Amino acid sequence: MRLVIATCSVDYAGRLSAHLPLATRLIMVKADGCVAIHSDGGAYKPLNWMNAPNRVSEEEGRWVITNPKGETLTITMVEVHHDSAHELGEDPGLQKDGVEAHLQELLAANPTAIADDLRLIKREYFTDIGPVDLLCRDADGRSVAIEIKRRGEIDGVEQLTRYLERMDLDPDVKPVRGIFVAQIIKPQARVLAEARGIECVEVDYDELRGIESDELRLF
């Protein structure tokens, strides 16, 4: 990974135009060629980015990143404060905790616990940015991407949104429905999911394991 801290402006030209005015920012160039521009805030999401595959042309005072669609990201650098490269090695990927891993296993064995018409196609279906937990098909033959969390929060919805964006570029699986599954889904996460056309389903872990519970439930 290459890390560059520079005072720069950024211009995107493609499906639309976007401009980031002059400021000091972090530019990350990953081993796969992805370029992301970050500010000192805003959690993990970059201000702008260009996914791989792309071509990076380093010119005097600027970088021009071009993808196969002809979209360009131009970074105009006034001053470079830091420039370093680091070998991170192979990443083992995200390891789910015991409950999440078992939830995935139980739901893969019985996807109708999520929706009556689902049948499993594959567990851990890999996209170019990571694996979605379950890939299913519904009664209409449409692909359904399912992300499973123990506790459903906004970052899980964001994660599934990114997977859906990548999967909708794959002619073998598009169009893709999204379902966000958790034991408890936070209200904010539910609002965001619904705004993005993602369904939300809460599941009972003990019920999936076949354990009876005498606790009163609201739903």
What integer pLDDT is reported at residue 181 of this predicted model? 95
Pair type for strands 55-59 and 48-50: unpaired
Token pair belonging to 53: 């595959």
Rounded to whole angstroms, the Cα distance separating 189 from 186 reads 5
pTM of the predicted protein model: 0.56
What integer pLDDT is reported at residue 129 of this predicted model? 87
What integer pLDDT is reported at residue 108 of this predicted model? 92
Q: List domains and CATH numbers for the chain.
A: 2-85 (2.70.180.20), 98-208 (3.40.1350.10)
What integer pLDDT is reported at residue 95 of this predicted model? 54
Cβ partners under 8 Å of residue 76, min gap 6 = 8, 9, 10, 11, 61, 62
Question: Is 7 in contact with 77 (CB distance < 8 Å)?
Answer: yes
- Per-position pLDDT tens, the chain of length 219: 999 999 999 999 988 889 999 999 999 999 888 999 999 876 678 999 998 889 999 999 999 999 999 999 999 999 999 999 998 877 665 555 557 888 889 999 999 999 999 999 999 999 888 899 999 999 999 999 999 998 999 999 999 999 999 999 988 898 999 999 999 999 999 999 999 999 999 998 888 887 544 443 433
What integer pLDDT is reported at residue 218 of this predicted model? 39
First to last CA, the chain: 48
What integer pLDDT is reported at residue 214 of this predicted model? 45
